[in-house]
Amino acid sequence: MRKALIATALLSAVASAEPTIIPLPKEMKTGEGSFKFGDETGIRFDKDLEPVAKLFADDLKARSQHEVKLVREELRIMLPSEIRLDLDDSLPLKSGGYKLEVTPKGVLVTGKDVAGAWYGTRSIIQMMPASGAEVWATTKGVPIPAVSITDEPRFGWRGMHLDVGRHYFPVDDIKGFIDWLAFHKMNTFHWHLTEDQGWRIEIKKYPKLTEIGGFRDSSPPYGNRYADDGQRYGGFYTQEQIKDVVAYAAARQITIVPEIDMPGHMAAAIAAYPELGNSDISGYAPKVQTRWGVHPYTLAPTEETFRFVDDVLTELCELFPSQYIHIGGDEAPKDQWESSPRVKELMKKEKMKDGHDVQSYFIKRVETMLEKKGRKLVGWDEIREGGLSPNATVMSWRGEAGGIASAKEGHDVVMASNSHLYFDHYQAPAADETAKGKQFEAIGGFLPISKVYSYDPVPKALTAEEARHVLGVQAQLWTEYMKDWDKVEYMAFPRISALAEIAWTPVERKNYDDFRARLDGVLKHYDAAKVKRAEPFDPPKPQTKDGSTVETSLESYQEHWAELAYDGKPDTFFWADRSLKAGDHLTLTLRAAVSGKARVITGGKASRNGDKLGEGVLEASSDGSKWAEVASFKEGIAEGPLPPATTSLRIRVTKPQENWLIIHEIEVE
């Protein structure tokens, strides 16, 4: 069952004088004392804020069991104690900005717009004790700390994705999730509605999509991802349910961006309507898939298929008012296209050289459909393959490269990097997690909350003008290893708090230690609502063997920290978590100047690819600014004499490589 956002739970301390708010506001000054929300407190609101006022009153009641009186501003009814909600579009703030003034005498929220007023009320809710009802029972009031806040969001797209294709979750769970997005001032819910393993949205014109495509015959059990449990599984949302959820989200200032993934990840749809696929190839036998991963069934680029796509998008646009429609575009294998006589004929006619061109042709056709419906296309970064359609927005998930290239070409982008924003990755060491039980299995990776928080959605490679194309940031919840809602909550919370802060707070205000201290207050809200959250895991700070320091442009894979490249232990190593770019580096600043020689060994048996450095140099410096080459890497090893008084060593990549990088040990003699 969905857990109400404002549930009561264990007694918590009365709110302290230092407000706890995540995401951290742009400007905040604490005052003296607090405002007592008591039985005489009412809400006075601008006439355009009535829906906000009603939802806010419901939240306050849940925290106090007190029925809050609502008064329109123009009625001029006196209230002994009031929280006032106003609008002022002249505020020098972005859309969603607000000012909040709390004194012992009253509370004033002034929104730049309706969204801003809503976000102001979210700050108030966070500042109240998580177990306000129990505080009320003993004090007949709930304190709200005195504070002065001027706040606005950094980005206009503050998103969270949820995959319901691999596993279906009831409407109550979806609504509860939307409540928590609102709590964190998120404004975009990316609803991934279709997959190879299940089609989850009713389409009136094509009932078999849910009758057949909505169910599969088996699923992999926890602990053995290559086995079958033999249990029929499925479910879908009716159009009436969709409308209900869309309205629920809109009332909380959240836009739902639906995703119908195409032309790949379409096995469930093709199982329902086999004529939509590449039915002219040998061995064609579509079915709703029962295993995770990428499957070969893609939509055929035929006129019949495009009529189907247009019909589906027509119904989708009637349900979702979002200006953006996500069409996926990721992980579309090209083999079936390149084997299909029909597609080969099309390629010849349209002068297409390979499957990448077919992908581009398909996406451009879909973009034209959406433009005729007054909508914008957004897709995963594979939509760049074969050439990007003219007005497409790119969601960059395979690192930042797709986002950087698209922004430089003038396309809007949403940064959704799998290195920092894939919440299906382990948030604590895999061995620690799986020791709790098979149900704690994840797809892999290692993404502690500190790594989420470290992400900056604006890549350094972009100029200020190019950075204007970064609409915002989004995290992903792929649910192959989330069979029930408890597991979704475990993977999402508390990492969603870090996501909220990188999406909202000015980059110069970010500080992980401060965030971590404030997180404790938000955890109380989670616990009061009985959210099945994880404990935030802070990795131990690794050390080099002698206190020397390491700095790198690369993130570490799992617990293979950069410092392990210089810890004097042959069994430990640094392992980068992505492909290499020219200019990537690892720099070691030595504790004391040295002479002699250095040797660096890269690669190792831990990787099936070896992960040696193909082309790069080992450099030395005596001042950290001027560098001299010591040796180039050959077969993954570089060694040579050091200049006198060397204080720093740098391993620098000179040519991009697909493989990741292992640095086993830096040896200095």
Clarify whether residues 328 and 461 are in a common domain. yes
Q: How, if at all, do strands 585-594 and 646-653 pair?
A: antiparallel
State whether residue 554 is helix, strand or coil: coil
Q: What is the pLDDT of residue 353?
A: 95
pLDDT value at residue 19: 86
Last residue within a domain, chosen from 438, 469, 501: 501
Q: Are residues 279 and 174 in the same domain?
A: yes
**Hey, what are 242's tokens?**
């969709």
Q: Per the omega criterion (within 30 degrees of 0), is the bond before 296 cis?
A: no
Please indicate, yes or no, whether residues 558 and 614 belong to a single structural domain of this protein: yes
Q: Residue 367 and residue 361: Cα distance in Å, rounded?
A: 10
Percent of the chain with pLDDT over 90: 87
Three-state secondary structure of 257-321: EEEEEECCCCHHHHHHCHHHECCCCCCCCCCCCCCCCCCCCCECCCHHHHHHHHHHHHHHHHHCC
Which token pair is 71? 């008064």
Q: Which of 73, 211, 331, 371 is catalytic?
A: 331
Q: Does residue 4 surpass a pLDDT of 70?
A: no
CA distance 622 to 645: 6
Grade residue 12 by pLDDT with cuts at 50, 70 and 90.
Answer: very low
The yes-or-no verdict on residue 611 having pLDDT over 60 is: yes
Assign residue 58 the CATH number of its domain.
Answer: 3.30.379.10
pLDDT at 535 exceeding the cut of 70: yes
Residue 217 lies in a domain: yes
Q: Is 542 a member of any domain?
A: no
Distances from the Cα of 534 to the Cα of 213, 427, 446, 449, angstroms? 33, 8, 14, 10
The pair of structure tokens assigned to 145 is 């700390």
pLDDT at 556 over 90: no
- How far apart CA 249 and CA 160 sit, in angstroms, is 13
Does the structure show a pLDDT above 90 at 526? yes
Same-domain pairing of 187 and 252: yes
Tell me: pLDDT of 575 over 80.
yes
pLDDT of residue 239: 99
Q: Which of 60-74, 80-94, 171-185, 652-666 has the lowest mean pLDDT?
A: 60-74
> What is the secondary structure of 342-409 as a DSSP string?
HHHHHHHHTT--SHHHHHHHHHHHHHHHHHHTT-EEEEEGGGGTT---TT-EEEE-SSSHHHHHHHHT
pLDDT of residue 313: 99
Q: Is the pLDDT of residue 609 over 80?
A: no
What is residue 78's predicted lDDT score, i.e. its pLDDT? 81
Q: What is the mean pLDDT of residues 161-180?
A: 99
Q: Report residue 558's pLDDT band, with 50, 70 and 90 as the boundaries.
A: confident
Q: Which amino acid is at 654?
A: T
**Are the C-beta atoms of 378 and 408 separated by less than 8 Å?**
no
Q: Say what the pLDDT of residue 10 is.
A: 28
Tokens 């033999």 found at? 230
Domain of 392, CATH number, reads 3.20.20.80
Q: How many CB atoms lie within 10 A of CB 75?
A: 8
For position 65, what pLDDT does the model report? Answer: 81
How many domains in the chain? Answer: 3
- Determine the pLDDT at residue 14: 44
Ranges of beta strands (E only) in 204-264 are 215-216, 233-234, 255-262
Looking at residue 206, what is its pLDDT? 99
The answer to whether 43 touches 68, Cβ cutoff 8 Å, is: yes
Residue 304 and residue 419 share a domain: yes
Same domain, 242 and 266: yes
Report the pLDDT averaged over residues 325-337. Answer: 96
Statement to judge: residues 142 and 167 lie in one domain:
no
- Average pLDDT on 146-175 reads 99
Cα distance between residue 517 and residue 271, in whole Å: 51
Give the domain-ending residue among 133, 151, 169. Answer: 151
Q: State the Cα–Cα distance between residues 590 and 593, nearest whole angstrom.
A: 7
User: In this structure, are 278 and 214 located in the same domain?
Assistant: yes
Give the mean pLDDT of the chain: 94
The pLDDT value recorded for residue 378 is: 98
**107 and 218 assigned to the same domain:** no
Asked, for residue 404, whether it belongs to a domain, the answer is yes
Residues 270 and 276: beta-carbon distance below 8 Å: yes
Q: Which two tokens stand for residue 230?
A: 């033999």
How sure is the predictor about 608, in pLDDT bands with cuts at 50, 70 and 90?
A: confident
Containing domain of residue 608, as a range?
549-668
pLDDT level of residue 73 (50, 70, 90 thresholds) = confident
Q: What are phi and psi of 132, to 5 degrees?
A: -60, -35
The DSSP element (H or E) to which 599 belongs, if any, is strand 597-602
The tens digit of pLDDT for each residue in 251-301 reads 999 999 999 999 999 999 999 999 999 999 999 999 999 999 999 999 999
Catalytic annotation present for 331: yes
Tokens of 590: 């030595």
pLDDT at 37: 93
Let me know if 552 is exposed, middle or buried by CB neighbors in 10 A (0-12, 13-18, 19+): buried
Q: What is the pLDDT of residue 578?
A: 87
CA torsion through residues 483, 485, 486, 487, sign: positive
Dihedral in degrees, nearest 10, Cα atoms 237, 241, 244, 247: 30
pLDDT-derived band at 17 (thresholds 50, 70, 90) equals very low
Give the residue with greater pLDDT, 624 vs 159.
159
Asked whether residue 414 is assigned to any structural domain, the reply reads: yes
pLDDT confidence of residue 480: 98
**Are 173 and 138 found together in one domain?**
no
End-to-end CA distance of the chain: 63
Q: Please say if the pLDDT value at position 9 is more than 60.
A: no
Extract the tokens encoding 176. 């509860």
Burial tier of 597 (Cβ tally within 10 Å: 0-12, 13-18, 19+): middle
Residue 11 lies in a domain: no
Per residue in 422-444, pLDDT (tens digit) is 999 999 999 999 999 999 999 99
Q: Are residues 177 and 134 in the same domain?
A: no
Q: Establish if 609 belongs to a structural domain.
A: yes
Taking the CB of residue 341, how many other CB atoms lie within 10 A of it? 10
Domain boundary among 151, 175, 200: 151
For residue 512, being part of any structural domain is answered with: no
* Residue 451 included in any domain: yes
- Same structural domain for residues 147 and 190? no
pLDDT value, residue 389: 86
